Chains A and B, each alone.
Chain A
Amino acid sequence: MESRAKRICYSACLVAVALMCSYLEHFISLTLLIPLPGVKLGVANLVTLFAAKRLNCEYAAGILFIRIGLSALLFGSVTTFFFSLGGAVFSYLVMVVLLKFFCGYLSEVGISVACAASHQIGQIAAACILFANAAMFRYLPILLLVSLITGTLVGMVLQMLLRRIPPMQR
């Protein structure tokens, strides 16, 4: 019971960190470097991956969806919520599958790259549904290539964080 309470408190802290990362990402927009819609570093996803590794996938899901909900409420709108949800759901499903079945074979960098790429696919699919236009897929090749770089960077930072931040005391 004590352990569960600690996990919930830890999750609440991670939601706060993820929300802050999500907010800060508005100021370090990669669209200035690569002027394409949807290009993001994905720092907030770092927290989700960290939670999945340190807690479990269920807590990571809670952190992810609370962060998206609060982010849309504070800095976005209903449309941005569904748009973010598209990327988040697909990326989360890929993360769960990789962590459950391929955890021993893939490093954090590999998992992060897969999550970044699936996040882009999910967001583009959500945009296609939202605007009822398949032309949205046009930027997907470039976004996928960008996700290789952003996913690698996030995965490298994740490895460093997992080494430096000690596991939660039971």
Chain B
Amino acid sequence: MRKNENIIFKKADIFVYMVVIFLAIGTAFFCFGAKKQSLGKPTLIITVDGQQETIYLTDQIQMRVLSCAGYTMQIEFSSKQVRVISCDCPDQICVHTAPISENEEWIACVPAKILLWLHFSEESYDGIAG
């Protein structure tokens, strides 16, 4: 006799789906609400093994090679977007992550302990130079 092969859902499953959807909406509201607060100059904050470096982005496309934990990452950045060109880490998640261009977006490479974080700073370049 053939067994029943239908996928069985129970009524309470809908609560799990609802909780996850509410969490997604709640975190979206929290995360994207902050986005509109600051729309200043784009800055790229590079964290390599806990060491932070801030780069003020311009229209000119620049490239940089970062190394940490035995891995090397090549990045390309301008005020338009920041992307990872290549990395010799085993999972390649950072390479497959889409280029970032919006405030508070980030690309992380966990094996290499590198974080590229795009932050729109309200501070003017003149103020920083001074």
B96-A31 in contact (CB<8A): yes
Closest to B105 in A: A138
| Chain B hits for A14, CB < 8 A | none
| Chain A hits for B97, CB < 8 A | 31, 35-37
Q: Is residue B108 within 8 Å, beta carbon to beta carbon, of the partner chain?
A: yes
The CA of A160 and the CA of B24, in the complex, are separated in Å by: 29
A135-B16 in contact (CB<8A): no
Partner of A113, one of B20, B27, B108: B20
State the majority secondary structure of interface residues on B: mixed
State the majority secondary structure of interface residues on A: helix
A133-B7 in contact (CB<8A): no
| Chain A hits for B27, CB < 8 A | 137, 140-141, 144
- Cβ distance B106 to chain A, nearest Cβ, rounded Å: 5
B96-A113 in contact (CB<8A): no
A132-B50 in contact (CB<8A): yes
Contact size range, A: 35 or more
A26-B91 in contact (CB<8A): yes
Given contacts A113-B16, A136-B108, A148-B21, contact A37 B9 (CB under 8 A): no
A110-B7 in contact (CB<8A): no
Q: Is residue A147 within 8 Å, beta carbon to beta carbon, of the partner chain?
A: yes
Q: Is residue A8 within 8 Å, beta carbon to beta carbon, of the partner chain?
A: no
Partner of B111, one of A76, A105, A106, A137: A76
Q: Is residue A163 within 8 Å, beta carbon to beta carbon, of the partner chain?
A: yes
B31-A138 in contact (CB<8A): yes
The CA of A37 and the CA of B96, in the complex, are separated in Å by: 8
B108-A127 in contact (CB<8A): yes
Q: Which of A44-52, A53-61, A62-70, A77-85 contacts B (4 or more CB under 8 A)?
A: A77-85
B113-A109 in contact (CB<8A): no
A110-B110 in contact (CB<8A): no
| Chain B hits for A31, CB < 8 A | 93, 96-97
- Cβ distance A83 to chain B, nearest Cβ, rounded Å: 5
| Chain A hits for B111, CB < 8 A | 76-77, 79-80
The CA of A156 and the CA of B6, in the complex, are separated in Å by: 9
Q: Is residue A95 within 8 Å, beta carbon to beta carbon, of the partner chain?
A: no
| Chain A hits for B87, CB < 8 A | none
The CA of A121 and the CA of B13, in the complex, are separated in Å by: 19
Closest to A155 in B: B7
A131-B108 in contact (CB<8A): yes
Q: Is residue A130 within 8 Å, beta carbon to beta carbon, of the partner chain?
A: yes
| Chain B hits for A140, CB < 8 A | 24, 27, 31
- Cβ distance B31 to chain A, nearest Cβ, rounded Å: 5
A76-B7 in contact (CB<8A): no
A163-B5 in contact (CB<8A): yes
Given contacts A37-B107, A144-B27, 13 further A-B contacts (CB under 8 A): A77-B69, A79-B110, A105-B10, A105-B12, A110-B12, A110-B15, A117-B23, A131-B108, A137-B30, A141-B32, A144-B21, A156-B7, A159-B7
